[in-house]
Structure 1
């Protein structure tokens, strides 16, 4: 079920490609938000019959593979001043 409070659309998300970010994700069935820091290395757009939801591909330092941050699950996103941790500012 889409989150009516999501703050990011695909057009805006493109502006984050190549930038370091802190992303706070919020899921309906999880009481605590999940934070992720990394570089946005791409965006996957919805395609009828192939991919229903758009998401950012976020690559964190030291990880082998990017994480999928679905736009509808993003509670907040900001350009990071450093890549250590994820605060709840």
Structure 2
């Protein structure tokens, strides 16, 4: 998967998260970021990977995002990896 396409998926994920009060509040609490910091980091590949990591780490959220965007869950994981997610992790 190309990094550009992976970034497109990440941007959809950001919109999905901030558009849902529960997800947004959980992401803010877990990440420690403020809304301004989120906006400031949107173009950062590591940040985009962290957004996808947030969804991947909770299967119900991942499935809901996949259903709402029409993306297959495995494509979301591929996007996460294309953005550098999982590097250095053992599976």
Larger relative contact order, structure 1 or 2 (CA cutoff 8 Å, min sep 6): 2
TM-score (norm 2): 0.24
TM-score (norm 1): 0.25
Higher helix share: 2
